[in-house]
Amino acid sequence: MAKEFRPKARRPRGFQDRRGAQLAAERALVAKIAAVYEAWGFEGLETSAFEYADCLGKFLPDQDRPNEGVFALEDDDQQWMALRYDLTAPLARFVAENFDALPKPYRRWAAGPVWRNEKPGPGRFREFWQCDADTVGAASPAADAEMIAVACAGLEAAGLKAGQYRININTRRLLNGVLASIGADDPAKRLSVLRAIDKLDRLGVDGVRLLLGKGRRDESGDFTRGAELSEADAERVLAFVTAGRGSREETLSALSAVAANADTEAGLAELGAIDEALGALGIGAAQARFDPGIVRGLEYYTGPVFEAELIGSPDEEENVIRYGSVGGGGRYDDLVARFTGQLVPATGFSIGVSRLAAALQALGEQQADGPVVILALDQTRMGAYLAMAQELRAAGVRAEVYLGQSGMKAQMKYADRRGAPIAVIEGEDEVKKGVVTLKDLKLGAALAKAIEGNEAWRKGRPAQIEAPRAELAAAVKRMLAEGGALAPSN
Amino acid sequence: MAKEFRPKARRPRGFQDRRGAQLAAERALVAKIAAVYEAWGFEGLETSAFEYADCLGKFLPDQDRPNEGVFALEDDDQQWMALRYDLTAPLARFVAENFDALPKPYRRWAAGPVWRNEKPGPGRFREFWQCDADTVGAASPAADAEMIAVACAGLEAAGLKAGQYRININTRRLLNGVLASIGADDPAKRLSVLRAIDKLDRLGVDGVRLLLGKGRRDESGDFTRGAELSEADAERVLAFVTAGRGSREETLSALSAVAANADTEAGLAELGAIDEALGALGIGAAQARFDPGIVRGLEYYTGPVFEAELIGSPDEEENVIRYGSVGGGGRYDDLVARFTGQLVPATGFSIGVSRLAAALQALGEQQADGPVVILALDQTRMGAYLAMAQELRAAGVRAEVYLGQSGMKAQMKYADRRGAPIAVIEGEDEVKKGVVTLKDLKLGAALAKAIEGNEAWRKGRPAQIEAPRAELAAAVKRMLAEGGALAPSN
């Protein structure tokens, strides 16, 4: 016989496998945010993973060649298809295709993976989840305000507390007004200025000042050419982008002093209307503020833009730790018009699920317990073990029987690896006495940790009790409650 | 300026967009089945959408060329990647890649889309969801029985009642034994026999008899060549595949009379052990039976195979309506060995989410209501409307404000399209009186339906009440309860 081909088992480059507690946390996050979106009247939509390449367009951040940055292939009818790179482009296609059949405004939420064909790097994956809400067909600033408010509600449902996050708001119209006021009409110059502004968080005012002027040399010696604004123009831009204040009202009044032309007037009116609607929705200064330094990369934004920022607790030196953006959005009035020519105003917000989950974990979310594990010490009594598991499940306790062939020690190790709070043992002795032994593995682990490095703990037995077989479920539930173990949800 | 390119908005061929109630039903289904899997101690896993093509193998039903039937593309490092066509092949890759780090047995559940590059047809999509549970590293028939039992629990959690479904069980070992007893060792002959058996449901005993013999001409005149068994061998096969009886015990005893060799002995012993474990798990004859006619297409099965069948209510002439298979699975002991050479016994069950959801809908599942819609009759009072929506959400009622620019009539039509149970109206009169008007749209719709075709209903007003503005939430909740509307879940 020919030598068998054995492929090497390997995950594709730049992709992730997620399992257990990490995956459960992300899924729970999506479920909580989706419940908020539903409560706010958004309707679920799941479009296909593929779109025709011409429908997707070329709105991917920092990509200006078609098919650049996406996973594309040719279908057998010679049409190019690509996997979606976000949930907004498919929404625009869906609305254009089904315009007459949809209620207008069309409020939809969506959650799912998106794919980007980029060079993988640490923490930079080619597949990740987004969870979006959008309102298509509403030009009102109230719709933008609602996006901000529903994002706040979603982040809070996900477990963030007041003061742990903030939505920063700006509008493209204000940026356009400031660019007009310094005569930056040339697209290349506009782009240099916007890129410089976008680095405010990372480089501070002095760094941005250099990038607005001649340019900046970084620590490694690399030189970035600047936008070559005059000193006065650079200061005007800086005064604008640093006009953010504690409350939205204060920022609006600071901004009105900076530049005055048709665009800035329109921008300020827009932000004023958003502020009013946010007030009606109960969104205070701590949750959402105006920040003229927010740019947002995607080219399709036409008006207000939003960015959700996570804020950690102050450390010992009272420095606030920033985790960066966990979501964003804005108004994109031209995206449906790309297909139909008809202007359809739209606004939306996208929460980056994986990033938010990672941040929540860093903020100290609790690890969920595994199931109760029933050891299988005697293969001829398998039926009795299976029946025990059914009893526990019927009582609302997650449970399983060890189904391998190994001995006691390996089975206990298995229970540990599963994060089991309790191991149920019914050996020969227990059968004779009509009891089961319940080992409290969480207590055992805690004891082991408390006396870490001290061999004495080996002599002490981890907490365990005997319970009459007939009272198995009740005894397990009692031990789970006493041990402070998380009650299983079903 | 150059004429703008306007792509035609169109969904790719063979793909679906799903929205609203249909999507919600499918998502709820996955959540319910996942909760069962978790309760049974299975741990969630989400692998990447892509796998390297050599890792996927060529186990796709009815495909024997590599890359046939999958969506594949070449990565920029010249490795071919393909989207997964099921959730089992990625599991085998994951286990082989992470073998040492996993608890063994490794129990995992997974839910997500899979992709098949097939010719699209009615009801035949190129992207659909599966929801699987698998135990890897357990050779025990108890593990197979558990798969059957957890499938029963999952289908019941999804909303099926006893008698609406059944798991049909067989084992490849029995089939092998019967094939050996008629001397069908040649792979081509084996395949013809198995294909003939697989058509029992559709063609009946007489049709299969023809296919086991010379061949069969169908109604259109097309001729299918048969397996060319002798008459005696054909009858032996038929006696075997029709040996299924009401209870598992009866089938086992009927089967033991049909053919006796090493394979059938092993197969019967295997089914006997599964029967015993199913008994311990409380799975009766109505839920799971042995059916020697079950073949299952996937080539990787090595032992027991399962198929979940939906059974409709008997119609007026007492014919039971069959919806066909909504899931299946079996034992595949060789799939990890493909990578490592090391035999790792495994068994699993996959539920076809879309098909099950469609069947549940046909069985008469209730349509969920949309959100309460607050009309926006005066744009200057938008803040007041937004605040009402927040009050309703805080009281646990799904609610939204109409955010378009249209008049009263269009807004009422919008509320209808959303499936809103109630429209909240606060016009000039209501503001003066300090009240809101609540229109019971479900009652309105019911009245309209009751007097369908009769124009008289237009004169009657749909049920509506006035409530003090301060009692908005309480009044809405009362109307929802009275109207028999489904209580919102949050």
How close does chain B come to A316, measured CA to CA in Å?
A: 37
The answer to whether B165 touches B326, Cβ cutoff 8 Å, is yes
Note whether B482 contacts A: Cβ–Cβ < 8 A: no
Residues in chain A: 490
What is the CATH classification number for the domain harbouring A389?
Answer: 3.40.50.800
Residue B288 pairs with which residues in a beta bridge?
A: B167
User: Where residue A139 falls among pLDDT bands split at 50, 70, 90?
Assistant: very high
A–B CB contacts, 8 A cutoff, strictly below: 299
Residue B66 confidence (pLDDT) above 70: no
Is B127's Cβ below 8 Å from some Cβ in A? yes
The dihedral through the CA atoms of A442, A445, A450, A456 has a sign that is positive
Q: How far is A100 from chain B (nearest CA, A)?
A: 12
Query: If pLDDT is split at 50, 70 and 90, which confidence band does A484 have?
Result: very low
Mean pLDDT calculated for residue range B163-176:
93
- Residues A209 and A240: their CA atoms lie apart, in Å, by 12
Least confident residue range of A142-156, B155-169, B349-363: B349-363
User: What is the model's pLDDT at position B63?
Assistant: 45
Q: B138–A403: do the CB atoms touch at under 8 Å?
A: yes
Chain B residues in contact with A71 by the CB 8 A cut-off are 50, 73
Q: What is the pTM of this model?
A: 0.87
Note which residues in 169-228 of chain B have CB less than 8 A from chain A.
Answer: none
Predicted local confidence at residue B489, as pLDDT: 37
Is the pLDDT at B314 greater than 60? The verdict is no
Region A13-25: what's the mean pLDDT?
Answer: 91
- Per-residue pLDDT, averaged over A449-458, amounts to 53
Query: Is B8 within the bounds of a domain?
Result: no
Q: Which amino acid is at B296?
A: R
CA A237 from centroid of its chain's CA atoms: 32
Terminal CA-to-CA distance of chain A, rounded, Å?
A: 52
A485, pLDDT greater than 80: no
Give the least confident one: A119-128, A225-234, A248-257. A119-128
**pLDDT value, residue A315:** 55
Cβ of A142 within 8 Å of Cβ of B403? The answer is yes
Shared-domain flag, residues B168 and B267: yes
A486–B contact, CB cutoff 8 A:
no
Interface of B with A in 357-416 (CB under 8 A): 370-371, 373, 379, 382-384, 386-387, 389-390, 393, 398-405, 414
Among B326, B344, B362, the domain boundary falls at B362
Note the pLDDT of residue A320: 56
| Residue where one domain finishes, among candidates A327, A362, A397 | A362
Provide the residue type at A151 as one letter.
A
- Among B48, B98, B105, whose Cβ lies nearest the Cβ of A404? B105
Domain shared by B132 and B155, yes or no: yes
Query: Which residue among A17, A104, A405 places its CB closest to the CB of B94?
Result: A17
Q: Which residues contact B188 (CB under 8 A, 6 or more apart)?
A: none
Statement to judge: residues B358 and B381 lie in one domain: no
Pair B325, B376 in one domain: no
Q: What pLDDT was estimated at residue A449?
A: 65
Higher pLDDT: B362 or B136? It is B136
In this structure, the strands spanning A165-171 and A288-290 are parallel
Collect all residues of chain A within an 8 Å Cβ-Cβ radius of residue B6.
Answer: 338-341
Q: What are phi and psi of A325, to 5 degrees?
A: -75, 135
Please indicate whether residue B21 or residue A471 has the higher confidence score (pLDDT). Answer: A471
| Residue A66 pLDDT > 60 | no
Which pLDDT score is estimated for B315?
55
Q: Nearest CB to A10: which of B31, B52, B405?
A: B52
Is B488 within a domain? no
Question: Where is the domain boundary, B310, B341, B362?
Answer: B362
What is the distance in angstroms between the Cα of B276 and the nearest Cα belonging to chain A? Answer: 7
CATH of the domain at A65: 3.30.930.10
Q: Where are the beta strands (DSSP E) in B29-181?
A: 43-46, 50-52, 72-74, 80-83, 106-115, 127-136, 165-171
Pairwise CB contact (< 8 Å): B403 & A138: yes
Give the C-alpha separation, A213 to A225, whole Å: 9
Give a yes or no: residue B301 inside a domain. yes
**Pairing between strand B399-401 and A165-171?**
unpaired
Average pLDDT (B408-414) is: 94
Least confident of A295-309, A453-467, B67-81, B323-337: A453-467
Could you give the CA distance from residue B2 to residue B5 in angstroms, rounded to a whole number? 9
Give the residue among B197, B177, B190, B331 at the shortest CA–CA distance from B259. B177
Residue A65 reports pLDDT greater than 50:
no
How many domains does chain B divide into?
2
Q: Are A23 and A16 in contact (CB under 8 A)?
A: no
What's the pLDDT at B190?
87
Asked if residue B463 lies in contact with residue B478, where contact means CB atoms within 8 angstroms, the answer is no
- In A98-171, which ranges are continuous DSSP H helix? 141-157
Question: Is B10 domain-assigned?
Answer: no
Strands (E), B33-120: 43-46, 50-52, 72-74, 80-83, 106-115
CA distance A396 to chain B (A): 8
Average pLDDT over residues B145-172: 94
Lowest-confidence segment of A172-181, A401-410, B322-331, B403-412 by average pLDDT: B322-331
Structure tokens at A286: 């701590």
Compute the distance between CA of residue B196 and CA of residue B209 in angstroms, rounded to an integer: 8
Tell me if B18 and A379 make a contact (CB, 8 A cut-off): no
Residues of chain B in contact with residue A488, where contact means CB-CB under 8 angstroms, are 39
- Residues 6 or more apart whose Cβ sits within 8 Å of residue A211: A192, A195, A196, A199, A203, A224, A226, A227
Please answer whether residues A107 and A95 qualify as being in contact, where contact means their C-beta atoms are separated by less than 8 angstroms: no
> What integer pLDDT is reported at residue A123 of this predicted model?
75
B6 vs A341: CB contact, 8 Å cut-off?
yes
Residue with more model confidence, B63 or B353: B353
Inspect the interface and report whether the beta carbons of B398 and A38 lie closer than 8 Å: yes
Q: Which residue has the tokens 């076809």?
A: B352
Residue A490 counted as domain residue: no
Q: What are the angstrom distances between the C-alpha of A22 and each of A77, A115, A129, B84, B297? A: 40, 20, 13, 22, 35
What is the secondary structure of A231-243 as a DSSP string?
HHHHHHHHHHHT-
Find the CB nearest B48 among A17, A27, A50.
A17
A-chain residues near B390 (CB < 8 A): 280-282
* B4 lies in some domain: no
Residues B330 and B400 in one domain: no
In the numeric block, which tokens belong to residue A28?
Answer: 């729970």
Contact indicator for A83, A112 with CB cutoff of 8 Å: no
First to last CA, chain B: 53
% pLDDT > 90, chain A: 66
Q: What pLDDT, in 10s, does the model give residues B3-13? A: 677 899 999 99
The answer for B323, left when phi > 0, alpha when psi is -120 to 50, beta otherwise, is alpha
Same domain, A257 and A195: yes
Q: To 5 degrees, how large is the angle CA A454–CA A455–CA A460?
A: 105
Are B264 and B174 contacting, i.e. CB atoms less than 8 angstroms apart? yes
How far apart are the C-alpha atoms of A100 and A200, rounded to whole Å?
A: 44
What is the chain A residue with the closest CA to B341?
A6
**Can you give the pLDDT at residue B249?**
94
Q: Which residues of A touch B75 (CB under 8 A)?
A: 12-13
Q: Do B387 and A27 touch (CB under 8 A)?
A: no
CA distance A70 to A81: 10
Question: Chain B contact for A277, CB < 8 A?
Answer: yes
Q: Domain of A436? A: 372-482
Tokens representing A59? 């709105």
For residue A425 the two structure tokens come to 């043992």
- Say if A142 is an interface residue toward chain B (CB within 8 Å): yes
Q: Are B437 and B355 in contact (CB under 8 A)?
A: no
- Assess whether A356 and A380 both reside in one domain: no
Question: CA A353, CA A326: separation in Å to the nearest integer?
Answer: 8
pLDDT higher than 90, residue A68: no
My answer on whether A344 and A419 are in the same domain is no
pLDDT at B452 over 70: no
Alpha-helical segments (H) within A230-292: 231-241, 248-256, 262-280
What 3-state class would DSSP assign to B69?
coil
**DSSP assignment string, B356-381:** HHHHHHHTTPPPPP--EEE----GGG
Phi, psi dihedrals of residue A108, rounded to the nearest 5°: -135, 145
Tokens 């004859």: give the residue. B285
pLDDT of A69 reads 87
In chain B, the residue whose alpha carbon lies closest to the alpha carbon of A379 is: B140
- Nearest-CA neighbor of A152 among B27, B397, B382, B390? B390
Looking at beta carbons, which residues of chain B come within 8 Å of A403? 105, 107, 135, 138, 140, 142-143, 146
Residue (of B312, B313, B296) closest to B304 by Cα position:
B296
Helix (H, G, I), strand (E, B) or coil at A104: coil
Residue B443 touches partner A, C-beta closer than 8 Å: no
Asked whether the predicted pLDDT for residue A457 surpasses 70, the reply is no
Q: Looking at B72-105, which runs of residues are DSSP E strands?
A: 72-74, 80-83
Q: Which residues contact A136 (CB under 8 A, 6 or more apart)?
A: A91, A95, A102, A104, A105, A106, A107, A108, A336, A344, A345, A346
Kindly determine whether residue B400 and residue A145, on different chains, have CB atoms separated by under 8 Å.
no
Q: Do B432 and B357 fall within a single domain?
A: no
Residues B233 and B376 in one domain: no
Grouping H, G, I as helix, E, B as strand and the rest as coil, residue B143 is helix
Going from the C-alpha of A394 to that of each of A25, A477, B290, the distances in angstroms are 25, 12, 26
Question: Could you tell me if residue A13 is inside a domain?
Answer: no
Q: What is the mean pLDDT of chain A?
A: 88
The pLDDT tens digits of the residues spanning A346-384 come to 999 999 998 898 888 877 756 678 999 999 999 999 999
Together in a domain, B106 and B43? yes
Looking at the fold, whether A356 and A465 belong to one and the same domain comes out as no
The whole-number average pLDDT for the span B22-32 is 91
* For residues B45-56, average pLDDT: 94
Q: Find chain A residues with C-beta within 8 A of B280's C-beta.
A: 382-384, 386-387, 390
> Which of B19, B45, B374, B397 to mutate to test binding with chain A, by most A CBs within 10 Å of its CB?
B19
B455 within a domain of the structure (yes/no):
yes
CA distances (Å), origin B443, targets A146, B20, B397, B462: 30, 22, 18, 7
